[in-house]
Amino acid sequence: MGGPLDEILVLEIRNGKHIFLSLQGSFQRTCFGLPLATLASLGGKGVRNVDLETIRSFGGGGMPDELWRMTDFLMQYGRSCGSLFLERGDEKLCRGIRECLDTAREFDSVLLEEQEMGVLSMAETLLRFLDALPDSVIPAEMYEKAIRLGESNGSIMQVTLPL
């Protein structure tokens, strides 16, 4: 959630001496690793554009803007990309996407200029975002039911998720 970093890192060399490294800096707040409900409460303002009390208040609901923006981008530009989610994106583009998500800025035109690499980078960033969530999108108690539903050849069953 941001804040100072002031730590000493000790490197132990096998059969050798210890090396002490002093680390100082500050953490950047990021939407990666925050619960979906917390992100939804920000109303699309960007995690770096709101005060910490707003983030901690834990209100709101619905789909977080960060998730919506990545999904919408992939729906618009990723349909013709045959290797979507199979190939890695560009690390520099992934960092740029993350910065745009954290600050609620529009995605740079660079993503569109890079065409397929921009789409692959967005897909990789989406996977990283989902992987960093503290809780699964599908709660553990609903996972088996969701798997059975997916395997049931078109039968429809209502799944109620806890709020």
pLDDT at 79: 87
Could you write out the DSSP letters of every residue in 93-118? Answer: HHHHHHHHHHHTPPPPHHHHHTTHHH
CA-wise closest residue to 68 among 92, 39, 95, 26? 39
Q: Is residue 68 part of a domain?
A: yes
The answer to whether residue 11 sits within a structural domain is no
Reported as a single tens digit per residue, the pLDDT across 2-30 is 678 889 999 888 888 889 999 998 888 89
Asked if the structure places residue 158 within a domain, the reply is: no
Question: Would you place residue 60 in the very low, low, confident or very high pLDDT band (cuts 50, 70, 90)?
Answer: low
Look at residue 18 and tell me if it is in a domain.
no
Residue 64 forms part of a structural domain: yes
Whether 58 and 36 have beta carbons less than 8 Å apart is answered as: no
> Which residues form the domain of 112?
31-136
Distances (CA, A) of 37 to 17, 41, 65, 89, 117: 47, 6, 11, 28, 31
Q: Residue 5's beta-bridge partner residues?
A: 25
Mean pLDDT of 84-106: 93
pLDDT of residue 102: 94
Model-level pTM greater than 0.85?
Answer: no
Phi then psi for residue 9, to 5 deg, are -100, 130
Say if 73 falls within a structural domain.
Answer: yes
Token pair for 150:
């997916």
CA 82 to each of CA 70, 77, 85, 87, 120: distance values in angstroms, whole numbers, following the listed order: 18, 12, 9, 10, 10
Over range 115-137, report the average pLDDT: 92
| Angstrom distance (rounded) from CA 85 to CA 125 | 10
Looking at the domain assignment, is residue 69 inside a domain?
yes
Q: Tell me the pLDDT tens digit for each residue of 31-40.
A: 999 988 888 8
- Which burial class, exposed, middle or buried, applies to 25 when counting CB atoms under 10 A from its CB (0-12, 13-18, 19+)? exposed
- For the cut 80, the answer to whether the pLDDT of residue 83 exceeds it is yes
In a domain, 10, yes or no: no
Where residue 147 falls among pLDDT bands split at 50, 70, 90? confident
- Looking at the structure of the chain, the number of domains it has is 1
What is the reported pLDDT for 142? 83
Indicate whether 158 pLDDT > 60: no
More confident: 92 or 139: 92
pLDDT at 162 over 70: no
pLDDT band at residue 66 under the 50/70/90 scheme: very high
Q: How confident is the model at residue 75 (pLDDT cuts 50, 70, 90)?
A: very high
Q: 19: which DSSP letter?
A: E
Tokens at 128, concatenated: 């990283």
